[in-house]
Structure 1
Amino acid sequence: MTPAIPPAMARPHFIGIGGAGMSGIAKILTRRGARVAGSDSRDSETAAALRALGATVLVGHDAAHLAPDATCVVVSSAIREDNPELAEAARRGIPAVHRSEALAALMAGRRAVAVAGTHGKTTTTSMLAVALTALGLGPSYAIGGDLDAPGSNAEHGEGELFIAEADESDRSFHRYRPEVAIILNVELDHHANYASMDEIHESFETFADRIVPGGTLVINADQEGARRLTARLAGREDLRIVTYGESPDADVRVTGVRQARLTSEVTVVLDGRELTFGVSVPGRHYAHNAVAALAAGVAAGVPAPELARALGRYTGVRRRLQLKGEARGVQIIDSYAHHPTEMAADLDAIRGGTADGRVLVVFQPHLFSRTRELAAEMGEALALADASVVLDIYPAREDPIPGVTSALIVDAARAHGADVRAGHGKDAVPEVVAGMAGPGDVVLTMGAGDVTELGPKILARLSG
């Protein structure tokens, strides 16, 4: 049965409806019968997918876009107060609802599984959503990336489970009340909102406190930040903690990961039983994400052997080591990695099973604040590649910070002996990369901004 829509969400207007998180919520509301409208700065395949479902999607931001009968405006933390639609809503007394509040309303009445962590949320949420769907359980889900087509980041299912990606960047994951939660890792990031690791730990601890009494936290046993959080949570009688990883004391212990090109096979010991299953993406970190999904699904009552087999149905998310094509013996792979830990993990995965030749990276830093704090670590990660081109910083929601440019990363990478060059003009990059690459090489377009648009252009240049 389709849940009732809260009156405030009956005629919502989404500002930035084409974004990964916003579009998913808009899709579910449309499926539940709401009259959804919204705007975005540019047209996109995602906007087209929403229109096909019956949503009204307008291009550009204008006060006139806000319908007379709008019941609320839905915003993310990226929407500034001077946005004309948000300002018009305030003038007319139309309430503003944060994206996380809207998602929490959609999760109400369902058994929620929330996936948190500094890295790997989208992949792990997708793995669990795909596996539960394959088992016929009809989950609802909201993911921060598309599975295999525009608009595939969310679904309204008839089952009792709701799988959601829980974003820590602005503390909005404190609004959820999951029955099962996953914390994949705890690292310092989102420097505009967190000043220290103590603040990060406090935020994740608050998230864990939101798990319903008697619920389960699945948490990484190997990563230092997650282990420290586990220690902070120890002794809570109303919370069941299940650890996973390669550590000997992990409750769900990973005993082996075998990689073969763009796939992996992982073996775990769970409740004294050994299970081996395939994962259709490469790399140890993706295998561990699958184990986290397995542990969470089991905590929600899904039999482990069935879930392990179903996890093999997962074939990846757009921009998570996604193969874009091959030309002249050169593979082009797209990576969303933008934090040094993610960058190093993806480069390690490519090294471990994909590349016969060199690994070449086109990296676009994401956010001035992140670059200011982590430029040295980004440069160190790029030193794992054979050669790199570093683009200008993708600003997203931020204004420039004096003295913070991609040159900080270039200098740091060179300090580690890396072959790295600056690529200030994106239009010239396909020609540059085509001149660098040869048969057997892998080109990795890497970053959370619009660097993804370069993959097809590099392929076209190689094919020309």
Structure 2
Amino acid sequence: MNLKNIHNIYFIGIGGIGMSALARYFKANKKHVVGYDKTATEITGALSNLGIDVHFEDSAENIPVSFLNPANTLVVYTPAVPKSHSELTYFKNNQFQVLKRSEVLGLITENTFCLAVAGTHGKTTTSSILGHLLAECNVEVTAFLGGVTENYNSNLILKGAKVSVVEADEFDRSFLTLSPNLACITSMDADHLDIYGEADALKESFIEFTKRIKPKGKLFVKSGLPIDGITYGIEDGSNYSAQNIKIENGTYMFDVKTPKEVIENIHFNLPGRHNLSNALIALAMAVEYGCPHQQLAKALASFKGVKRRFTYHIKTDDLVFVDDYAHHPEEINAVHQAVREMYPDERVLAIFQPHLYSRTKDFANEFAESLAQFDEVLLLDIYPARELPIEGVTSGWLLGKIDNENKQLVSKELMLSKIQESDAKIILTIGAGDIGEEVNKIKKGLSVAS
């Protein structure tokens, strides 16, 4: 397919973080963009402000007349949309070109120099850092991101078309549509078992992804993963390694040992060893691409972070409120490590919203262990996303597995009052569902109370 011949792009599920980045991209490239989503959100509002028409009722009657010609209309959908969706059904039954988001991403990036970030955790932060590093080094780059970066207030960095940065998403095997020049794998923990069935199938999919790398391309892997490549790690013997790590006023200061030399005195402002690892691999890929070391060090120090990735909303001597997207036990462990490193002597309250019945069922014991580490735990109902309930899998069932006396179920309506009753100095909201939409209410409530 030649995207230059397509004038109209119709998105089904336009409010998704990955879908909205594509919508922004096509709008910036003078395409006529329209879309559907289930509910109005901050993301759909931002798209509307760009002049993109978004509607929230699933009906083929909402499709504009100008989009009814299959010859010049491309339909992009997310796998999260049910197969019974009437608009999707209409397009499929009427000979339109209907592609998944990942397939369109593959088309856009196939003729660019592509840097792809794969892994069950860390994709969004790593790709956001990498996109920022390249942009600050004056590379003509477009970065499609799975989160809103603080530096650009967007999930799209648009500085040119020669180079692309993408998240290589393992969900639904989406990353097998990409053909990167440089790729990394940050992690391979079991996840998406509703898709893969078992961890070995997920591992095989990552191996298949490595075969998608273009000839003369390079693969980077986190030290310890069962795949061969250029290694990176924290204070170890990897090809790229962060060394001499110190923390001053919440900022990491470290050196990076590369295969050829040492880059000294690098500063990075995001907390947590997981974020330090993300910064290291982004830096390594930018070095291999050819960016000057001095510019890279300056660019990394200026990276402000990604919204909902250990995002501070209150940061005073008396109270700290952080919001994070963590939705897998290993990600919750990473948040716990970060908060204990930054605030070792303070009491921590974690409010967690489980995401997906299947993930909660598959990793119930691991979730219980990761959540038990906090001083207090509030548990919201499971956010179903694309799933129907699974009998017996509830937040109450999960709560019973958490070995912590200071735990309770809470509704969204009572959440703020329960938080205000706590004497914890550090408040964390955690989860990939709609808990992020409660953040402003919590922030306002805590600010009034203090």
Q: TM-score, normalised by structure 2?
A: 0.93
Paired position in structure 1 for 2:170? 168
Alignment of 1:432-443 (within 5 A): 432-438=418-424, 441-443=425-427
Alpha-carbon distance between aligned partners in 2 of 1:306 and 1:429, rounded to the nearest angstrom:
45
Counterpart amino acid of 1:349? A
Shift of 1:325: 2.2
- SS of 1:388 mapped into structure 2: strand
Alpha-carbon distance between aligned partners in 2 of 1:41 and 1:47, rounded to the nearest angstrom:
10
Alpha-carbon distance between aligned partners in 2 of 1:134 and 1:149, rounded to the nearest angstrom:
11
Counterpart selection for 1:307 from 292, 296, 299: 296
Paired position in structure 1 for 2:245? 257
Q: CA RMSD in A?
A: 1.9
Q: Which moved more, 1:63-72 or 1:378-387?
A: 63-72
- SS of 1:144 mapped into structure 2: strand
Change (3 A) 1:283 1:259: farther
Paired position in structure 1 for 2:62? 65
Alpha-carbon distance between aligned partners in 2 of 1:409 and 1:261, rounded to the nearest angstrom:
37
CA deviation string 1:25-56 (max 9, x = no partner): 11111111211110112223322322333322
Counterpart selection for 1:46 from 34, 37, 43: 43
Shift of 1:363: 0.4
Q: Which moved more, 1:255-264 or 1:113-122?
A: 255-264
Alpha-carbon distance between aligned partners in 2 of 1:308 and 1:453, rounded to the nearest angstrom:
34
Q: Is the 8 A contact 1:326 1:459 kept in 2?
A: no
Alpha-carbon distance between aligned partners in 2 of 1:191 and 1:343, rounded to the nearest angstrom:
18
Shift of 1:260: 4.1
Counterpart amino acid of 2:88? L
| Structure 2 residue 434 is matched with structure 1 residue 450 | yes
Alignment of 1:357-396 (within 5 A): 357-396=346-385
| Structure 2 residue 426 is matched with structure 1 residue 460 | no
Counterpart selection for 1:91 from 90, 93, 102: 93
Q: Is the 8 A contact 2:151 2:303 kept in 1?
A: no
Counterpart amino acid of 1:352? E
Q: Is the 8 A contact 1:140 1:157 kept in 2?
A: yes
Alpha-carbon distance between aligned partners in 1 of 2:18 and 2:140, rounded to the nearest angstrom:
20
Alpha-carbon distance between aligned partners in 2 of 1:196 and 1:371, rounded to the nearest angstrom:
15
- SS of 1:395 mapped into structure 2: coil
Paired position in structure 2 for 1:27? 24
Shift of 1:344: 0.6
Change (3 A) 1:331 1:248: closer
Mind listing any 5+ residue stretches in structure 1 that lack a counterpart? 231-240
Alpha-carbon distance between aligned partners in 2 of 1:83 and 1:266, rounded to the nearest angstrom:
51
Extract structure 1 runs of 4+ deviating beyond 6 A.
Answer: none
Alpha-carbon distance between aligned partners in 1 of 2:314 and 2:162, rounded to the nearest angstrom:
38
Alpha-carbon distance between aligned partners in 1 of 2:161 and 2:85, rounded to the nearest angstrom:
38
Alpha-carbon distance between aligned partners in 2 of 1:258 and 1:308, rounded to the nearest angstrom:
16
Change (3 A) 1:291 1:390: same
Paired position in structure 2 for 1:229? 227
Q: TM-score, normalised by structure 1?
A: 0.90
Q: Is the 8 A contact 1:142 1:163 kept in 2?
A: yes
Paired position in structure 2 for 1:237? none
Mind listing any 5+ residue stretches in structure 2 that lack a counterpart? 68-72
Number of equivalences: 441
| Structure 2 residue 332 is matched with structure 1 residue 343 | yes
Change (3 A) 1:115 1:418: farther
Change (3 A) 1:349 1:151: closer
Shift of 1:59: 2.5
Change (3 A) 1:448 1:260: farther
Shift of 1:355: 6.0
Alpha-carbon distance between aligned partners in 1 of 2:160 and 2:317, rounded to the nearest angstrom:
47
Counterpart selection for 2:276 from 287, 306, 309: 287
Shift of 1:60: 2.7
Change (3 A) 1:398 1:294: same
Paired position in structure 1 for 2:407? 420
Shift of 1:387: 0.5
Alpha-carbon distance between aligned partners in 2 of 1:115 and 1:173, rounded to the nearest angstrom:
10
Change (3 A) 1:432 1:269: same
Counterpart amino acid of 1:245? G
Counterpart amino acid of 2:418? V
Change (3 A) 1:150 1:268: closer
| Structure 2 residue 335 is matched with structure 1 residue 333 | no
Alpha-carbon distance between aligned partners in 1 of 2:4 and 2:188, rounded to the nearest angstrom:
34
